[in-house]
Amino acid sequence: MIFDFEVIKAFYGELAEKIAGIRRATGHPLTLSEKILYSHLFNQKPEGSFKRGIDYVEFAPDRVAMQDATAQMALLQFMMAGKDQTSVPTSVHCDHLIMAKEGATADMKTAVYTNKEVYDFLSSVCNKYDIGFWKPGAGIIHQIILENYAFPGGMMIGTDSHTPNAGGLGMVAIGVGGADAVDVMTGMAWELKLPKLIGIKLTGKLNGWASPKDIILKVAGLLTVSGGTGYVVEYFGEGAESLSCTGKATICNMGAEIGATCSIFGYDDAMSRYLTATGRKEVADLAGANREHLISDREVFSDPAKYFDQFIEISLSELEPYINGPFTPDLATPISQMKEIAKKNNWPVDVEVGLIGSCTNSSYEDISRAASVVKNAIDLKLTARSEFKITPGSEQIRFIAERDGYLKLFETIGGEVFANACGPCIGQWERKGAEMKLVNTVIHSFNRNFAKRADGNPNTFAFVASPEVVTAIAIAGKLTFNPLTDTLLNADGKEVRLAEPAGSELPPNGFGSIDNGYQKPDTNGKKSEIAISPESDRLQSLEPFKEWDGKDFKGLPLLIKAKGKCTTDHISMAGFWLKYRGHLENISNNYMIGAVNSFNDKTNLILNLITGQYDTVPAVARAYKTSGIGSVVAGEENFGEGSSREHAAMEPRYLNVKAVIVKSFARIHETNLKKQGILTLTFADKEDYNKIREDDKIDIIELNLLAPGRQVTVVLNHSDGEKETLMAKHSYNAAQIDWFRAGSALNLIRKAKIK
Ligand code: MIC
Ligand code: SF4
């Protein structure tokens, strides 16, 4: 079955005419990114006047996807909007809440039982509003989207930062917070600052141990975790065409790790093969007939530097495998230099666990290449020195990996297969002994490796590499093992060298037909009421946030000045806390518990200005809230990097934080904060971060004059009686200022409905 085929057909039916109109209006050759973005304008015309990186533009995406950990809050908000059904095709995927502990079968049983209330809620909301529901065990959102929904030239948003995975099938797919999803689901325009463009030309061809993952690991090293912020990254060139569709998806997926709005590849034969193999030959035919509209114009290819804001060229023939980490995905080390760099940095090199899979690297190609390494190791009489775990991205993939004998091979070297879900990637890993907080090293093919992410242990050094490299390193047991040059001692005491991995792009025996875990909306569900028990500790109906009272913020205590990296994992931790994703009050108890207080270098220990005592961040925030006092949060660069979770924005709003002032924001988090009605500011002079003292009372004044481009005045009232005034910038446009005034973006939607 092809989902929403009529919508896709209609899209391709209009595409040629739309592109011709865009070309007339802009008057210049077009990149693929522009073609897709401009063909999805909400009501505006491209006029040739939009300025990239400056103008906010309204879009009409073709679909919305949500995963269970973010869908709860998104749907609770959607329910407040008073609609009968979603305006565009929408799907919900149960993937984040499944704990990895004893292997797939046992873990699935536990998950279905422990998360019953949430799954039942999501399933009944899906039935009521005509939303496709993917049951627990079906797989990870991005893998399911690639296998079933993505189509070249389309545009979608998803409440998960790795939504750009669908760029592997030529789609502009963007990660957003739940409130943005509500805009699109309620039929409103979805607004985005028109992204700038990075063009990356891939020349040559990958060989040996190098894989698509290494391309993005290298790019992450070049651009860093914030280098892609505000950009669409468009890949092209003969090297791009030589990659499998799923390999392209891996690259687009991890574009989130450089902060990119999304990444994309032009339509090619690899995409056609993937669409056909996954039962969507009709889509491949339509895309094939529109191929010229699904790639950049010829002029762009011949002079890319002229059409992209930044242009990079990478030779695949010379690319060697990379290992990125620890603690950040952009610390890129070519495998040949790992021995030296690990030694220099004193990284622990004994690898305890190698993990493959996740939404980033679960393709047939990935699994078959990793399996070839295992097969070769067995033939060479080697065993795995590290533990080895596998999380398949979907039931489809798990099924064929089992059918084609790969899972058996993994088990032969002690591999353990977890459920088709996020599992260890999001801290849903009951790893034995993690609570002892011992220093140790793991290596995985996931995308993120922030501190504590996988197992909650701050002393776990997590490294990211391709599945085949992870497998080789798990066999060797050493981070410094380079399969290209090094040998291993086998059971007979002989020095042996692993052969280069080999795999297949697509399953030679097809994908087979399975129960994929999809639940079609049941029309009887339309009439049912969605009941949320007031006693529940997992779900809680939302109360609208209060409107801004029109007054300046005066004498607000500083809640916390966060030091250094402050990702959404630091702001609203996942793992254990995922269970409260539908309960704002309960999840607010994790607010900023991972952030480092710049005044004492400790996490979760801050000064309570009322008592003069130190306490946890949530406790102090609640104390201020109860006393009717607002507060201010300060931070450094790329604040809120990582996830799309809007809990990181709703929690401070719920806890009465009025403003967040930082050196710079990550895109999704900044929008999330704005949408929830928190004032988001950046220091006009970054050095002013240093002026904020622990016991400051902060004024933010002349808020009635808040206007696009106008700086905001912040006064620091120090406890010694001195005052310092500093200026802060903001990126609000006029419509977004209305969100602030209304108390949240959703309040505006609700008001429109009430009128
Ligand atoms: C992640 O990879 O961090 C997550 C968990 O998928 C998040 C979403 C979430 O926090 O629910 C993301 O990337 O957006
Ligand atoms: Fe799930 Fe990890 Fe992918 Fe996020 S990055 S969707 S947690 S598998």
To which H or E segment does residue 387 belong? strand 387-391
Q: Is 645 labeled as catalytic in the residue annotation?
A: yes
**Does residue 358 line the site of ligand 2, with CB under 6 A?**
yes
Note the pLDDT of residue 524: 85
Q: How far apart are CA 13 and CA 24, in angstroms?
A: 19
Task: Write out pLDDT tens, residues 268-314.
Answer: 999 999 999 999 999 999 999 999 999 999 999 999 999 999 999 99
Active site residue 95: yes
Q: Please answer whether residues 211 and 465 qualify as being in contact, where contact means their C-beta atoms are separated by less than 8 angstroms.
A: no
User: Does the structure show a pLDDT above 80 at 26?
Assistant: yes
pLDDT tier at 195, thresholds 50, 70, 90 = very high
Instruction: Give the pLDDT confidence of 476-534 residue by residue, as tens digits.
Output: 999 999 999 999 999 999 999 999 999 999 999 999 878 999 999 998 878 788 989 99
Instruction: Give per-residue pLDDT as tens, 585-628.
Output: 999 999 999 999 999 999 999 999 999 999 999 999 999 999 99
Structure token digits, residue 507: 């399953």
Mutate to test the pocket of ligand 2, among 141, 358, 572 (most ligand atoms within 8 A of CB): 358
Residue 581 CB–ligand 2 contact under 6 Å:
no
Q: What are phi and psi of 286, to 5 degrees?
A: -65, -45
Residue 697 main-chain phi, psi, to 5 deg: -110, 130
Q: Coil, helix or strand for 392?
A: coil
| 570 classed as catalytic | no
Taking the CA of residue 644 as reference, the ligand 1 atom at the shortest distance is 14
Distance of alpha carbon 565 from alpha carbon 570, whole angstroms: 8
Amino acid letter, 573: M
Q: Which of 280, 431, 448, 647 is catalytic?
A: 448
Mean pLDDT within 63-82: 95
What ligand 1 atom has the least distance to the C-alpha of 572?
10
Query: Residue 154's closest CA among 26, 369, 4, 298?
Result: 4
pLDDT band at 753 (very low <50, low <70, confident <90, very high): low
CA distances from 163 to 130, 141, 197, 645 (A): 21, 8, 18, 13
Q: Mean per-residue pLDDT for 426-441?
A: 95
Q: With a 6 A CB cut-off, is 35 part of the ligand 2 pocket?
A: no
Strand ordering across the sheet containing 332-334: 332-334, 322-324, 460-464, 440-444, 351-357, 387-391, 416-417
3-state secondary structure of 570: helix
User: Which band of pLDDT confidence, cut at 50, 70 and 90, is reported for residue 47?
Assistant: low
CA distance 304 to 311: 7
C-alpha dist (Å) from residue 460 to 142, 325, 426, 433: 26, 11, 14, 11
Mean pLDDT of 314-343: 98
Residue 741 appears among annotated catalytic residues: no
CA 542 to CA 77: how far, in whole Å? 7
Q: Provide the token pair at 457.
A: 């242990």
Query: At which residue do the structure tokens 């809120």 appear?
Result: 640
* Pair 578, 69: CB distance under 8 Å: yes
Distance CA 37, CA 635 (A): 32
Written as six digits, the tokens of 221 are 């090293």
Residue with tokens 């997590």: 462
Residue 530 token pair: 């969605």
Of 122, 162, 328, 391, the one to substitute when testing ligand 1's pocket (max ligand atoms within 8 A of C-beta) is 162
- Of the residues 643, 653, 669, 696, only one is catalytic, namely 643
Three-state secondary structure of 425-494: HHCCECCCCHHHCCCEEEEECCCCCCCCCCCCCCCEEEEECCHHHHHHHHHHCECCCCCCCCCEECCCCC
- Look at residue 754 in the predicted model and tell me its pLDDT: 53
- Rounded to the nearest angstrom, the distance between the alpha carbon of 426 and the centre of ligand 2 is 6
Place of tokens 């059971």: 491
Give the whole-angstrom CA distance, residue 186 versus residue 182. Answer: 6
